[in-house]
Amino acid sequence: MSEKTAVTPPTHAAPPARFSHGVRKGNILQVAGQVGFRPAVPGQPPSVAGPTLREQTLQTLANVESVLTEAGAGWEDVVMMRVYLTDVAHFAEMNALYDAYLADVAVPPARTTVYVGLPEGLLVEIDALAVLD
């Protein structure tokens, strides 16, 4: 049986609770829900990329990508993504940003989008499941 390992990019601050940014077991990688926090600065609290959905979505996707890269994976390995939005009015804009960001992925992952409450100031959260060869 393969060992379960935590995946934490150096750009990510410690999670606010007891969880890992990513967990790999064998060829499975689960990326925890990522939000639009800028890369971590030692000694400073996490800061949101900006107040707009665009800023937060692009940073969130970059944060997902950082976890994938740290684990030796890429977008082509992602089989499922879940997008969590705080406002139904944001769907079209998020979808356009998502489509552009993943434009070069030959087979896009399956995806689910749901509407949730997130901590104040956060507009989007995204998690991913990847299977590595």
Q: Under DSSP, is residue 86 helix (H, G, I), strand (E, B) or coil?
A: coil
pLDDT beneath 50, residues of the chain: none
d(CA 45, CA 14): 10
Alpha carbon separation from 37 to 3, 26, 97, 131 (Å, rounded): 29, 28, 17, 25
Tokens describing residue 11: 């750009």
Nearest to 80, CA basis, from 41, 29, 42, 119: 29
pLDDT value, residue 124: 98
Report the pLDDT value the prediction gives residue 128, as an integer from 0 to 100: 98
Specify the pLDDT at position 16: 81
105-130: pLDDT as tens digits: 999 999 999 999 999 999 999 999 99
Nearest CA to 128 out of 59, 61, 42 is that of: 61
The values of phi and psi at residue 90, to 5°, are -85, -5
**What is the predicted pLDDT for the residue at 67?**
97
- What pLDDT score does 1 carry? 66
From residue 109, how far is each of 24, 103, 127 by CA, in Å? Answer: 18, 12, 12
